[in-house]
Amino acid sequence: MKEQVTRLNEWFVPQFGPIKFRIFVGMMFLPYTGMCISFSIIGSLLTPTTIAWDRIVAIIIIYFTALGISAHVADSLGSKKNKPWGDYFSNLELIIMLISGLIIAYTIGAYYMIYFVPLLLPIAILEGFFLFAYNYEFWNGFFHNNVWFAISWGSMPLLAGYVMQTNSLSYVPLLLSVVAFLISYLEISLSRKYKKLKLTNDMSRSKKLESRLKIISISTILFSVTFLVLRALQISF
């Protein structure tokens, strides 16, 4: 399968280990999942009060399992074309991955929503909705576009991080959620063009886009890590 071969050669797919391991790691799109998690960390660190570090760990696990694993598995299951990662995993295996990721994410989320941050509930519901509506292309793919991707993978993780810490919203996280939206929109736009170029073996142009995608994802992740370290050391900007 041409697409399958192309995906195995992606820059974020390990070139070592058993084929199922490589596919599983590649399927999580770790640089882009890392961006999503980074937005949730940034949102968490915007809290004006003392940071609850356990909640940062919780929001990282929530987005890694629900979106990093479950959403990408749903994309493979719900693809209207050929499966993005071929047939190395059976539908049963993929369904188990999808359900397991959601169970972990929503169990952790439920604990915090019940005892600390009930305002997280609307975000949890919306993110769950987008997970299926985007990846299974409900309503003739109405939600399967760059705008909804940028909302669900950019803006909402940042807001979720802030809400996880404060159980509230303010103009600062709302404003920065627009920035997260724009970064995510740029990433998915370039990613779609990059994928098409890879499939047509246009190596020169695809390499240029690959470099841009690396810069966007790595810069976002490094910014969140730097911000995290500075807050941990109680250094203000």
**Is there a domain that residue 3 lies in?**
no
pLDDT tens profile 213-226: 999 999 999 999 99
pLDDT tens profile 75-130: 988 876 666 677 889 999 999 999 999 999 999 999 999 999 999 999 999 999 99
pLDDT tens profile 146-203: 999 999 999 999 999 999 999 999 999 999 999 999 999 999 999 999 988 877 777 7
pTM comes to 0.93
Number of domains in the chain: 1
**Is there a domain that residue 9 lies in?**
no
**Is there a domain that residue 125 lies in?**
yes
Confidence (pLDDT) at 82: 63
pLDDT tens profile 132-160: 999 998 998 899 999 999 999 999 999 99
Query: How many angstroms separate the CA atoms of 74 and 101, rounded?
Result: 11
Place of tokens 């802030």: 162
**Is there a domain that residue 99 lies in?**
yes
Query: What's phi and psi for 96, nearest 5 deg?
Result: -60, -45
**Is there a domain that residue 61 lies in?**
yes
**Is there a domain that residue 4 lies in?**
no
**Is there a domain that residue 12 lies in?**
no
Confidence (pLDDT) at 49: 87
Mean pLDDT across the chain, nearest whole number?
91
Query: How many angstroms separate the CA atoms of 167 and 185, rounded?
Result: 27
Written as six digits, the tokens of 159 are 């807001």
Look up the domain containing 83 and give its range.
Answer: 31-232
